[in-house]
Structure 1
Amino acid sequence: MEGLLFKPSYRGKRVRLSKPELLAPAGNLEKLKFAVHYGADAVYIGGQKYGLRSNADNFSFEEMREGVEFAAKYGAKVFVATNIYVHNEDIEGIEEYLRHLYDAGIAAIIAADPAIIDVAQRAVPGLEVHLSTQQSTLNWQAVKFWKEEGLPRVVLGREASLEEIAEIKNQVEIEIEAFIHGAMCSSISGRCVLSNHFTDRDSNRGGCCQSCRWKYDLFEDAGGQDSEHKESSTGNAMARFPLFEEEDPAFTMGSKDLCMLEHIPDLIEVGIDSFKIEGRMKSIHYVATVVNVYRQAIDAYFEDPEHYVLRPEWLEELNKAANRPLNTGFFYDIPDHEDHIYEPKDKAAPYDFAGLVLEYDETDKTAVIQQRNFFAKGQEIEFFGPNGTFFKQTVQEMWDEDGLPLEAARHPLQRIRMKVDFPVAYFDMMRRKH
């Protein structure tokens, strides 16, 4: 059967391996379409309520229906995160909300709080429930508990190692979903309360302000240990002096991002059923690039497992969308001081999404591009797409919709016809280096 093979697993036991699901984030409807078009088997989104990304462009029920219909054309599924921890005032309305999700065609919800899980199983039995990583599930007995509660899939805590995943798969017959790429939490998978204290935004109700990414410094009160509430003769709070020199940079406490691209065989052979990419708040360029790379790597492994080789160009592609330094999280060891970012050197992705291919004319070798970011004649650009498109060229001749020549594409969503060096296809992307 296609997508199945037999070989030694991560711990040496000969098992049947099936191609894992590639699960991508989608912060809005457009990102959903890009994720699916670039190779995702499923996408997870947020609705207007009960999700942990309150700042994302979350989906209305109408947008969910459109997303489900689009995904179905590609054989993909749509999941909805309902993964907040519920307070009393959140309880009213859960059942109605879940029924709307089911009516919209949502395949499953991702939930952490037993209140939501219970309502879903009791009132909307056709709606599948996956246990969220917010439950920080890390051992096979906990996984077994949730299986006995009727859940078909558990999203493990990011702190699970490959050895622990192997033991879970050996002990419990259940689908396991694990994060394999994206941001990591400096706390235990979202249990941080810094956000609550600093900004009154609850991390476990969708309001995390990412306090660990802020810049911090250390100061000393001028009046000593008892001076915290004292005032100077002018009525102002007592002065505070930095403990370090002014030229010393402030520090952050954020973790490096997770990247398991170099370890695809281990992830597959340990038996992980769903490879999850983090990033509902990330850009279209990020989603398309990361999904495209992992799609290629997974497919290449199953084409010839015995001769699978990591391609250097895959890592190069990921780095074009990376925001932070990368590591392997908890999969092989416990992260230490080298796995955190102390100096605020976070960089924006080095490439911008410059344009989207809408049409290609084989006769005159031109493409109609929808502008997404400024680009101009003489600049080097790259084209890439889910069907293998990849090449660099210099922007040459281009014209507006009236056929008038252009020196630069300045207007968002402007349709531009331009010369291209090689064939391109609908939904290929054009990017430009900063």
Structure 2
Amino acid sequence: MTLKTELKRPEVLAPAGTLEKLKTAIHYGADAVYIGGDAYGLRSRAGNFSFEEMAEGVAFANTYGAKVYVAANMVTHEGDAKGAGEFFLKLREIGISAVIVSDPALIEICATDAPGLPIHLSTQASATNVETLEFWKKEGLERVVLAREVSMAEIAEIRQQTDVEIEAFIHGAMCISYSGRCTLSNHMSKRDANRGGCSQSCRWKYDLFDMPYAGERRSLQTNGEIEDEAFSMSAVDMSMIEHIPDLIQNGVDSFKIEGRMKSIHYVSTVANVYKKAVDSYMADPDHYECKQEWVDELWKVAQRELSTGFYYQTPSEEEQLFGARRKIPVFKFIGEVLAYDDATGVATIRQRNHFRVKDEIEFYGPGFNHFDQTVEVMWNEEGESIEKAPNAMMILTMPVAQPVKPGDMIRKKK
């Protein structure tokens, strides 16, 4: 079977570890967000949502025409699936657009107890070929999140042979284990990675040590000197910003950004960039070009070095983290705009990181609107002039060079 593919605008799907991040992601252009509930997910340390928060998130998303998906992608052991039927039924009642599931037991429970709630296959299920997609289609699933190990050529072939929706990761962390199925954390910290407790053992620093006596530790590689680590199990992050045409032309329906535990600075920046890139391509595919400012923008948020993962080649040692960092983000998030007075040109700001008078700062907002200015003066909540804003979440006011809007962000070079 060969299917005709038409150019279709992909969904920009952003992570939302909290209600604040959900609203930020949608405000900055995400067409959909994925969140976690209080159970059945793989991010136990993320700010997972209560049912009340989910309902508020869905209501907010509806005003923007956006969707909310819930990740329930844990691998269940005996007893873990207890209560899942009621959980999925509640999600359906709230108006969740789909659940992301990997375990066949949870898929069966969802289909039986909450019929009509769409199910997407999680990347944890390692879907890498068209036969797998067709199998899950017969089970009633409408979308499959492909394994991160799938190449661009394989996506093209899959797309030609099935009409199942394809979701693919396009930015964020890469797992060193196949499709995230890892037991390092289980062995090394007694935290089950596949039931939400991953301690990220692959990100730890490793060396070979001589330990002849209790309490002594001498590196066999550096003769006891402290140097950059020589061993690594840690992959660099993925970024596909320079390959938007390939993803769209090969029929990827949803562009997934990793990072439910990342900051609102990260979520707003990455969603903003990919929204801009997708809109630019769809507006004029024949004359599209990836702008350097988009690439530079992504480097303003905290992340590891970047590569294209498995899309074009098997990653080499260059796609692993070891030794000295080759590139480091140089900006930090310092605040967000709460209000703006048109008459005075003064903005009310909530501080997120230390900054002071004379600092060069950058404002940015949805739609890729940016401008720089120097902080000339600022006042605290009592109206007193202050030289610095050292206290986290403090409220202050300051004149700004251009009009801003609530939700705009502020950052500066470290």
TM-score > 0.5 by shorter chain? yes
Q: Which residue of 2 aligns with 1:152?
A: 142
Match 1:199 to one of 189, 197, 201: 189
Q: Which residue of 1 aligns with 2:56?
A: 66
Q: Which residues of 2 match residues 153-232 of structure 1 at below 5 A?
A: 153-220=143-210
- Find out whether 1:256 has 2:240 as its counterpart: no
Q: Is the 8 A contact 1:153 1:175 kept in 2?
A: yes
TM-aligned CA distance change 1:433 to 1:221, over 3 Å: closer
Q: Which residue of 2 aligns with 1:3?
A: none
Aligned partner of residue 269 in structure 2, secondary structure: helix
Q: Single out whichever of 165-174 and 396-405 deviates more from structure 2.
A: 396-405
TM-aligned CA distance change 1:206 to 1:148, over 3 Å: same
**1:137-161 C-alpha deviation (Å, 9 max, x unpaired):** 1011111101111100000000000
CA distance in 2, matches of 1:292, 1:343: 32
Q: Single out whichever of 334-343 and 136-145 deviates more from structure 2.
A: 334-343
Q: Which residue of 1 aligns with 2:10?
A: 20
Aligned partner of residue 404 in structure 2, secondary structure: coil
CA distance in 2, matches of 1:96, 1:25: 24
How far 1:15 sits from its partner (Å)?
Answer: 3.5
- Find out whether 1:134 has 2:124 as its counterpart: yes
How far 1:239 sits from its partner (Å)?
Answer: 7.1
- Find out whether 1:243 has 2:233 as its counterpart: no
Match 2:99 to one of 88, 109, 114: 109
How far 1:397 sits from its partner (Å)?
Answer: 1.6
**1:196-247 C-alpha deviation (Å, 9 max, x unpaired):** 100011111111111111011113575xxxxxxxxxxxxx669775322223
CA distance in 1, matches of 2:202, 2:188: 11
Q: Single out whichever of 172-181 and 87-96 deviates more from structure 2.
A: 87-96
Corresponding letter in the other structure for 1:379: D
Match 1:409 to one of 389, 410, 414: 389
- Structure 2 regions of 5+ residues with no counterpart? none
- Structure 1 regions of 5+ residues with no counterpart? 1-12, 223-235
Aligned partner of residue 396 in structure 1, secondary structure: coil
Corresponding letter in the other structure for 1:34: T
- Find out whether 1:343 has 2:323 as its counterpart: yes
Q: Single out whichever of 160-169 and 249-258 deviates more from structure 2.
A: 249-258
Q: Single out whichever of 393-402 and 85-94 deviates more from structure 2.
A: 393-402
Q: Which residue of 2 aligns with 1:269?
A: 249
Corresponding letter in the other structure for 2:66: A
Corresponding letter in the other structure for 1:378: K
Corresponding letter in the other structure for 1:258: M
Aligned partner of residue 198 in structure 1, secondary structure: helix
Corresponding letter in the other structure for 1:182: G
- Find out whether 1:34 has 2:24 as its counterpart: yes
Q: Which residue of 2 aligns with 1:49?
A: 39
Q: Which residue of 2 aligns with 1:225?
A: none
Q: Which residue of 1 aligns with 2:300?
A: 320
**1:138-195 C-alpha deviation (Å, 9 max, x unpaired):** 0111111011111000000000001111111111111000000000011101112111
TM-score normalised by length of structure 2: 0.95
Q: Is the 8 A contact 2:300 2:332 kept in 1?
A: no
Match 1:120 to one of 110, 118, 123: 110
Q: Is the 8 A contact 2:4 2:160 kept in 1?
A: no
Q: Is the 8 A contact 1:323 1:347 kept in 2?
A: no
CA distance in 1, matches of 2:324, 2:58: 39
CA distance in 1, matches of 2:22, 2:85: 25
CA distance in 1, matches of 2:54, 2:243: 34
Aligned partner of residue 6 in structure 2, secondary structure: strand
How far 1:61 sits from its partner (Å)?
Answer: 0.7
- Find out whether 1:284 has 2:264 as its counterpart: yes
Q: Which residues of 2 match residues 294-313 of structure 1 at below 5 A?
A: 294-313=274-293
TM-aligned CA distance change 1:35 to 1:238, over 3 Å: closer
Q: Which residue of 2 aligns with 1:397?
A: 377
CA distance in 1, matches of 2:349, 2:284: 37
Count of aligned residue pairs for this structure pair = 409
**1:379-427 C-alpha deviation (Å, 9 max, x unpaired):** 1110000034201111112122332212122333332221111111121
